[in-house]
Amino acid sequence: MNQFQWTFLDNKQQRHTLGIAHSSKSGHLVVHCDHRVVLIDFGVLEERTFSFFVEEELCKLNIRGSKEAGFTYDFNIDTEIDTETNRIRNKKKRSESFKSGMRLAVLLGGVLAIVLGVAWWGHSSRMESLPYSLRLDGIQATAEFLDDGRLEFIAGDNIVKGRPLGNDVARLNRISFQSGDELSILFDGFNDDNFIIDWPGTLEILKDEPKPGNAVGTLLDVMSLELPQVAGHPRCALLTAEKISGPWSMIGLIDGFLLQKPVELEKWQKRFRESAYQHRIQQLCPTTKKVLSPEI
């Protein structure tokens, strides 16, 4: 005589104990739940599936095997079939899933807000004007100016035409770029239309004298009209700014004299006369006239 027992909770969280007694010789089967017989059958000597209700739950007992090979037993509650109990159960699951999703969304939104807030607070006003993600994860490419003022570049298998994000538009508007001029850009790998000017990459060619007609040459021509003599040649000034404080300091210098930003202008008017600046520019451009003493 084969005897097995299972314990389960119904939809009202009430505990039930279901047991079976099955003779492997005669096939007589008795199924009982909570000391009450719920099913009797005879001659069960092959695979069979029995369905019966315990309270409001539709239960299934699966008998596998044969008289010769022996039997195995499996018991489960059918939560898929269309019953009133399962409809209530599924409605509750959907409600709980929605609430869980909302809680997770609120949690992630809070974490994301904190992360973005810290990142936003931790960067200078210059870096805030450009998309943070592109500065970290942007993909570098070479873009060419078109006749209509837009930039064109290749991103994977796509040809992208558009204008950069942030303050780059204002910077470009102060420079008379020609169709065919090239700049380095950083674009978003997830959305090719989002890109910024990679000024440090673009200004790398300042290590050599720019060729006539090059976009950077136009930039230098514009800055030469704005920079004071003490700053040195624009190419030397930009290289010095980058060496002293990094590439974004270089962008600050561009903005100060292209966009006429008072804070940047005042900062750089003082910095040009500092010993660190003068020492560095003499190393990079030995022909620059040295300032012997700062003006008071």
What proportion of the chain, given as a percentage, has pLDDT over 70?
84
**Angstrom distance (rounded) from CA 233 to CA 227:** 8
Instruction: Say if residue 214 is in the same domain as residue 177.
Output: no
Rg (CA), the chain: 38
How many other β-carbons are positioned within 10 Å of the β-carbon of residue 253? 25
Q: What is the pTM of this model?
A: 0.46
Q: Which of 45, 48, 43 is nearest to 70 (CA)?
A: 45
Q: Coil, strand or helix: which one is 28?
A: coil
Instruction: Say if residue 198 is in the same domain as residue 228.
Output: no
pLDDT of residue 117: 67
The reply to whether 15 falls in a domain is: yes
What proportion of the chain, given as a percentage, has pLDDT over 90?
24
Distances (CA, A) of 249 to 119, 135, 200, 240, 264: 19, 15, 10, 10, 10
From 133-147, 159-173, 201-215, the region with the lowest mean pLDDT: 201-215
pLDDT of residue 288: 64
Instruction: Say if residue 194 is in the same domain as residue 255.
Output: no
Domain that holds residue 157: 132-202
Which of residues 202, 222, 253 is at a domain's end? 202
Instruction: Say if residue 8 is in the same domain as residue 72.
Output: yes
**Looking at per-residue confidence, does 34 or 267 come out higher?**
34
pLDDT of residue 292: 46
**Confidence label for 59 from pLDDT (cuts 50, 70 and 90):** very high
The reply to whether 86 falls in a domain is: no
Q: What are phi and psi of 289, to 5 degrees?
A: -70, 125
pLDDT, tens digit, for every residue of 92-133?
888 888 888 888 888 888 888 887 766 555 444 544 545 567
Domain total for the chain?
3
**Confidence label for 178 from pLDDT (cuts 50, 70 and 90):** confident
pLDDT of 272 over the 50 cut: yes
pLDDT of 170 over the 50 cut: yes
What's the N-to-C CA distance of the chain in angstroms?
Answer: 107
Which of residues 58, 78, 98 is at a domain's end? 78
Regarding beta strands 151-155 and 158-162, do their DSSP bridges make them parallel or antiparallel, or are they unpaired? antiparallel
The reply to whether 122 falls in a domain is: no
Average pLDDT of the residues of the chain = 81
pLDDT of 296 over the 50 cut: no
Averaged pLDDT for residues 42-65: 92
Q: Are the C-beta atoms of 199 and 259 separated by less than 8 Å?
A: no
Judged by phi (left if over 0) then psi (alpha if -120 to 50, else beta), residue 65 lies in: left
